[in-house]
Structure 1
């Protein structure tokens, strides 16, 4: 297959992936009807990104095995600072700053991550993009038992305190549980941090006591108050919604 043909095929696959992600995201306010669409998105996104395999065989179980031996993830070469309930990744003089609102239980967020995560990382490391990550307890009632969105958003902020936000964030999506099923327990969330190299008792205490739960809830309340929040994932720039259903949305922002 020639280079031109491969590029044309890749472009077509990414267009299909983007359309499927957007369709899944808007299908239902509580995301309970998007699971089938998300499966399609995962398959397409893997091909778009270039054959990178995102293992999902262990996700959704909520058992000890689901977080055992987490896939190797690398950090990001950029400054990372926690600011209340948000985590800012990127250089201060980056050309573009966006706010990314996500939920670690949200299937459409996982698909967004697969489709655009690598490009976002590349632009952050190139110094052109800064991202304010807002992990929200938006789908808190949609795990069984309830509370995984709250627990995971708190744990990610705890990991930021230990300078492991990026690795923890990436692994939570790699080990994303199914919506409607059991999420990872607090014990498992602590173990994940330990497996990623977090030492000492501070992280464990932070996760178990819910130290940053109010901060994460505050981020959700604040974005809802804007009247522009469209559910997770939502991308905003300067307080305005960015329509990411166009596969070139990030490229266009950086022009």
Structure 2
């Protein structure tokens, strides 16, 4: 083999080796990029998960340590609030019409009902033509975290009615309603709300701390939820739900103009 031929073969071997090294570096570089990309993705995902957990926990506990806002609405002079067992009535003596409203302080549709129809209903109460019978129920008692808010708030509202402050208490709990599935207001916060709306009787505090009306509320709920006249078809057969409005024992379909159609 001549010198020229040996040199040409040597150059070819060097070029082949160089290409192999370059290819190896390229593969290694690509793998390294993949590793970096995967690492970054994992870090971002972890951050999103941690952020989601933090946000969820914060949202869930948004009521903790919070004062419940007190609304400014009041009944007109002459409107009487009266508790009768687990029912609170509000109206002027001699009112010609009566409706029963079944609701749960944790029920978001009940809050919408209040926001949509409260002014029209209160106008008729204040002018002496309507009495509203409020049935505050623990239907969603297991839907707060921890469970129990529906019962605690219903019991507290009856205690507020004993002190003549049901409307303010009722409206405050709907206006500042906790999220379903999240933390409700605890007993200390319910007591503070009572004080903020002007309740000074120590019996109010005792009633909340001891759950004095809980058995009456539970008994009333069992009776109401199985009353055939209060059943409605929600798409999966008849059942009871909140909010429900009844006039003379008959359930009213809650259309936009039901107040005008039913009460005139």
TM-score range, shorter chain: 0.7 to 0.9
Q: Residue 253 of structure 1 corresponds to which residue in structure 2? A: 262
Q: Residue 231 of structure 1 corresponds to which residue in structure 2? A: 241
8 A contact 1:66–1:175 mirrored in 2: no
Give every structure 1 segment of 4 or more consecutive aligned residues whose post-TM-superposition deviation is greater than 3 Å: none
Q: TM-score, normalised by structure 1?
A: 0.73
8 A contact 2:160–2:194 mirrored in 1: yes
- Long gaps (5+) in structure 1: 1-57
* Offset of residue 59 of structure 1: 10
8 A contact 2:102–2:137 mirrored in 1: yes
The whole-number CA distance in structure 2 between the counterparts of 1:210 and 1:115 is: 31
Q: TM-score, normalised by structure 2?
A: 0.71
Richer in helix (by share): 2
8 A contact 1:60–1:66 mirrored in 2: no
- Deviations, residues 66-105 of structure 1 (Å, cap 9, x unaligned): 42xx234232121111010000111242222110000000
8 A contact 2:70–2:193 mirrored in 1: no
Q: Residue 122 of structure 2 corresponds to which residue in structure 1? A: 121
Q: Residue 73 of structure 1 corresponds to which residue in structure 2? A: 72
Distance 1:60 1:248, change over 3 A: farther
Higher relative contact order, chain-length normalized (CA < 8 Å, sep 6+): 1
The whole-number CA distance in structure 2 between the counterparts of 1:126 and 1:218 is: 33
The whole-number CA distance in structure 2 between the counterparts of 1:190 and 1:127 is: 31
8 A contact 1:88–1:133 mirrored in 2: yes
* Offset of residue 241 of structure 1: 0.6
Corresponding residue SS for 2:150: helix
Distance 1:222 1:202, change over 3 A: same
Distance 1:59 1:182, change over 3 A: closer
Q: Residue 137 of structure 2 corresponds to which residue in structure 1? A: 136
- Deviations, residues 26-79 of structure 1 (Å, cap 9, x unaligned): xxxxxxxxxxxxxxxxxxxxxxxxxxxxxxxx9972212242xx2342321211
Distance 1:107 1:168, change over 3 A: same
* Offset of residue 237 of structure 1: 1.2
- Long gaps (5+) in structure 2: 1-58, 232-239
The whole-number CA distance in structure 1 between the counterparts of 2:82 and 2:66 is: 31
8 A contact 2:137–2:150 mirrored in 1: yes
RMSD (Å) for aligned C-alpha atoms = 1.7
Corresponding residue SS for 2:156: helix
Map 1:12-23; keep pairs closer than 5 Å.
Answer: none
The whole-number CA distance in structure 2 between the counterparts of 1:251 and 1:194 is: 36
Give the number of aligned pairs.
195
The whole-number CA distance in structure 1 between the counterparts of 2:204 and 2:72 is: 19
Corresponding residue SS for 2:66: helix
Distance 1:60 1:114, change over 3 A: farther
- Deviations, residues 100-119 of structure 1 (Å, cap 9, x unaligned): 00000000000000000111
